[in-house]
Every structure is written in C-alpha cells, then in structure tokens.
A and B are shown apart, each in its own frame.
Chain A
Amino acid sequence: MRISGNRHILGWLLISPAVILLVTFTHYPSVSSFFSSLFSRGNPIRPSKFVGADQYTAMLEDPVFWTVLENNLIYAAGTIPASIGLALLMAVLVDQMLPGRAFLRLAYFTPTILPMIAVANIWLFFYTPEIGLLDQVLRPLGIDTPNWLGDPSTALWSIIFITIWKEAGFFMIFYLAALQTQSPELKEAAKLEGASAFTFFRRVTFPLLMPTTLFVLVNAVLNSFKLVDHIFILTKGGPNNASSLILYYIYETAFSFFDTPYAAALTIVLLGFLALLAFVQFGLLEKRIHYR
C-alpha cells in the first residue's frame, strides 16, 4: 500500500514538468482565449462586457477574415504537397552514392538553418523590381517580370515559393534518416524478382516511408498555419490583404488594432481548424499506415 502510494507520487512528479508547461502555455491560454472572445473590447472609459457570440458573428461579416482564410487554404495547398514531394525527391537523390554527396546534403539543408527573418530580408531584395536578383536575371533574357510582391496575383505565390524552399530541406532530413534505416536486402530481393526501380519505389520504399510521411505531413500542415514570420518583412499582408494569413491577421488585430477579444475569437477558430486537421490526420490516415 505504502509502496504503491509512493509510486503514484513518483509518477506524478515525473510527468509534472510536462504537465506544468502544457497547462501554463497551452491549455490555460486556450481556455482563457475562449473566455475573452465572449467579451467586448474594453478600455478604461468603456469597460468590456459580456457579448456572447458577437465576436463570432462579426467575423462572418468581416471580408478580411474570409480573404485571409482563403489565402491560408491556398497557402496550405501550395506549400504542403510541394514541400513534401520535393523533400522526398531530394532525400532519394542524396541517399544514393553520388560524388559530393555530403556537400549536396548540406546544400539542401542550408535554407532550414537560416533564420526566417534574415531569409525574408534577402528574398525581399530578390523580388524587388528593377534592382532585384530575379529581375536582373530574367530581364536580359527578354522575360517580362511581374512586380512579384506588389501585385495581388503574385504576392501570395511568391511567399509560398519561399516557404517551400525553406521547408523542403527540413523534411528531407526525416526522409533521409528513414531511407537509411531501410534494409538493403529488400532492394536485393526486388532485383532478383526483376522489379524496376520505379516499381520498387512505389511498392516497397514509399509504403515503408509512410510513418515518416505522416510525421512530415503533420508538421507541414501545422506550419502552413503558423509560419508567418516572412510576411512581416516581405508584404505585411498586402497588397490589400492579398498575402495575409490567419495568424498574421490575428497579430494585426491584437497588436495593431488592440482588439484582443476579436483576436481571441480568431485564435479559437484557428485552434478549431488545427484540431480538426489533427483529427483527420491521426484518426483516418493512421489506420492506413503499416509501422512494421
């Protein structure tokens, strides 16, 4: 009895650092965001009062909300498959015996180790019309370049491109690690059976990589909602919200408009989205994955 009581305490002690961190920085803020989203914006002259779902109905009528939501879905659709596909391709490439393999791996990984803000400042000058790198390379070839960040039709895609460039190298590392744990016997066996390299990849390598793909997918989905650092430098969401994303809009609402209740409501919607996506990914996809 005594022993089991002690074990109980020990157990709680062991998980307490994680619990404390999670509760303080994740659960409590989520719950408190939810509560503050039910109140109106207050100030010392006009104190805030309970308004129920008003913030949420206001959101439905807020055209900027719909724009950033749409942008975010395009951003996700643009970045997730492309960065995962590219990562897989790069991993397969550098998994083979190539001259200068280590150098190539490093080259692919470099974008990941650079801080996003610094990278964005460099890309700002790549994209700048007239004096930017892109224009200086493309113009002499007779290609008429758009005003990359200044045109609403290209601004978001310019941002998507940087994100893919930044993320693919990171995901590549996971694929590379997974590829290197795959047994060479499989390849030999396939060779004996006369399977082509493509069939082997499709039927053996790729299915075995599924757990990694799930992990990478979860990360890519999360990042497509939380990676907004470069927007601060590159476009500030413009022109006319063409490149603004949900999280960036939340930041603007909270710190530029000082409307914390509305920002809280937006946060809750974002959380809901992420929870739904996590549910879909773990609940449905995981059943189709063979771990061993």
Chain B
Amino acid sequence: MGATMALSAGVAAAKTSLTMYYPVAVGGPLTKIVDGIVADFEKQNPDIDVNAIYAGNYNDARIKALAALKSGQPAQLSVMFSIDIYDLIEQDAIVAFDDVVSTDEEKAWLKSFYPALMENGQTLGKTWGVPFQRSTIVMYYNKDAFRAAGLDAENPPKTWEELVAAGKKLTKKDGSQWGMMIPSTGYPYWMFGALTKQNGQVLMNADGTETYFNNPKVVEALSFWKDLSQKHEVMPKGAIEWGTLRKNFLEQKTAIMWHSTGNLTTVKKNAKFDFGVAMLPGNPSRGTPTGGGNFYIFKKSSDEEKKAALKLIKFMTSPKNAAKWSMETGYIGVSPEAYKTKELKEYAKSFPPAAVARDQLNFATAELSTYQTGRVRKLLDDALQAAIAGGKTPEEVLNDAQARATQLLKPYK
C-alpha cells in the first residue's frame, strides 16, 4: 500500500506540465480542434500534461502570455503572431529552436517546413518561431455571379487589369452587388503587403530594421487600392470591415473578396452558391504575404519543459496533424510532407481550393514585421486608412509613415 502510494507520487512528480496560450483570428470552432489534437498528444504522452488556453485574438494572446511571464506563472510555449518575433527577442522572452533541438531527427524536423513560412520566424541567423496556423491571402469569388456577368467562372482574373475589368462587370449599378472587397480594417497592412509584392516591392528588410513605405512601387500599390473604389468604382468607398466581410461575401453583396485562407472551411460550409478560390492576381507577378501564428518556446522554462514543449510542437506540426488541421480550418499544411498524406491528398483532389494557398507559397513573402512592430504596423495602418477612407493622397501619407518609421527604427540599426 505504502509502496504503491510512493510510486504514484513518484509518477505524479515526474509529470511535466505545460501551459500553452493560443489565439484564434478567424471564424469557426477552432478551439475544439486544438483541444482534440492536444488530447491525442496527452494520450500518447501520459507523462506530459498540457494546459492549452484559448487567449482571444493575436494581440490578446501576446498580452496574456507576456503578462503570465512577468507574473512568474509563465507559459512554456505559445502560439503567437509570427510577426511578434522581434518584440519577443527584444524582451528576451523566447529561445531559438536551434538551441532546443538536439537529435538529428529533431534537426531534420526543423528543416521540414515550407521556406516561405519560415521567413517570419527567422532572424539573427536562427529560427525562433515554427509555423502552425499559417495562412496566405486568397481570392474567394462567386462563380454564379461570374457566370451571370458573362465571365468565365473557371478563369478568375490573373492581373490587376483583368481584376478591374471583371470588377466592372460584376458591380451592379443599383448597389446590390459590388465587384470586389479588400478589407481595410483589422489587418490593412497585411492586404497591402499583397498589393506591394504583386507590384514587385516588399515592405521591409529581413533584419526588421528598415521599412520601404514610400518606395514608388509601394505608393503605386496604394494608388491602385484607392482607385478600386474612387476611380474604377468596383469596391465600396470608406473602410471595409475585416470582421463582417465574410458575411458580405456569403450574402452575395460582393462577388470577390480577399481574405485569409483560414476562412476557407467556414465559407465552404456556409456558401449557398458555387464559389471558387484563386491565387491573388499580379502586376505582373502574383504575390501575397504569409500570415498567422507560430509556435514559440519561452526562455523561462526548465530544460525538461523545453524538451516537452518541443515534443508537443513536433506532434502538432507532424504531417498527420498538420493535414488534419489544414482540412478542418483552411490553414496551410505547414510542410510538404503534410500534402503527401493520403487524407490531405484526397481532400485536395475532391476540393481543389484547399491547395491554392499552398501553391501560392511560391509567390509569398514575409508579413510586415520589424522591431517596434506594433507601432510601425500602426503607422502603416493609419496611413492606409487615411488614403483609402480619408481622402489623403498616397504619397503624402506614405512619406509621413516612412519618416516616422525611420525615426522609430533608428536605435536598432
């Protein structure tokens, strides 16, 4: 009796417990899916106890994780915005995965992801974030509306000119249907990252110390965005709300929307019309930023905890779980191996939109991320909204944003 008690106490003591915060930024029952994967992990690893806490949107998740860190009740790992990397490094909150992986197998795992998804997780020559709920922007379009307007529903626009031409045909003069909507609240800089990449220019350098907001190609991209509503009149004027856009599309008030692939499964479930998903058009080359959340491991954890955290992250990003996650949400399967699983192969065959985001990775670039990222991002967001909704000229607002961003980033050079 005494011996069994001592034994069970010994087992309990050896149990490593992990706290993990994670955000949800798109619609759908994502918490349930995460809980399911975590439960599977605990079943396979009885010595590890995982406390997965849903923490709101990306901003909330970061606040909660950092607050927990400061209060001395830290999480050992978290899913946070991929672009939080510089802030987390500056706060000395995270460890590089290179310093946690030890076996050859683990090192190989770290190299197994799509390179485009690693861009936002790497700086200073190390990998700090491992992709999990990653997305790109894709173009959702209403095939029924395309047919009704006399457009080829299997041939969505591939260039900016084609996009404008299609938009004009799709816009109904009585205001009952718009040609297209690109959201300009929530994450305007993200949508803008797509337009600038398509126009052949990125928004920042890889060290996170320099922005290119007033580069002529960037200014041109903003002019195009603004023209969609002001000149071509294929998009409503004023800011377009990120949160309600999906409903606008589902209610057929817009024939095209640009949105995260993370919405794919929800759109699929709720669309009462024939819809398609396409890569974003180009001018001339296609382009999109990647987006979404990465896994981070916090520095303030013991070596056992770090090992256990790594195990959990490896489990959650394994081809099988990445495939499951991708099918249930629309996020990208994070590694090529995921798309080689039988399940995802069959899913992509029966539902081709599921592979669009992956194919688009060939044209993808990193999401806007710098030191002082919150402020820099806000500068660009404000500038974009001032031009799109506020009637200011793109040159004026972007010159101003660039000057301020340069000021902010001066100490990091």
Contact = CB atoms under 8 A, between A and B. Distances in A.
Interface of A: 43-46, 64, 124-125, 128-131, 139, 146-147, 149-152, 235-236, 238-242, 252, 255-259
Contacts of A129: 236, 238
* Most chain B CB neighbours (cut-off 10 Å) among A125, A235, A236, A240: A240
Contact of A43 (B92, B239, B247): B92
Main secondary structure of the interface of A (DSSP, over half): loop
Contact of B247 (A131, A235, A241, A252): A131
A3 B56 CA distance: 57
Interface of B: 59, 63, 66, 87, 90-92, 175, 178, 184-186, 236-241, 243-244, 247-248, 251, 253-254, 372, 374-375, 378, 381-383, 385-386, 388-390, 411
A43 B389 contact: no
Contacts of B375: 257, 259
B59 A150 contact: no
Nearest to B89: A45
Given A239-B184, A256-B374, A45 B90 contact: yes
A252 B374 CA distance: 9
Given A139-B175, A238-B385, A256-B378, A149 B241 contact: yes
A152 B389 contact: yes
Contact of B239 (A45, A124, A151): A151
Contact of A236 (B185, B236, B253, B411): B185
Contacts of B239: 147, 149-151, 238-239
Contact of A239 (B244, B248, B374, B390): B390
A239 B175 contact: no
A152 B384 CA distance: 13
B86 to A, nearest CB: 11
A150 B388 CA distance: 10
Contacts of B244: 124-125, 128, 131
Contacts of B251: 130-131
Contacts of A259: 375
A146 to B, nearest CB: 7
Nearest to B90: A43
Contacts of A242: 390
A122 B104 CA distance: 53
A68 B254 CA distance: 33
A45 B382 contact: no
B389 A131 contact: no
B175 A252 contact: no
Contacts of B385: 152, 238-240
Given A44-B90, A147-B236, A258-B66, 5 more contacts: A46-B411, A130-B236, A130-B254, A239-B238, A239-B239
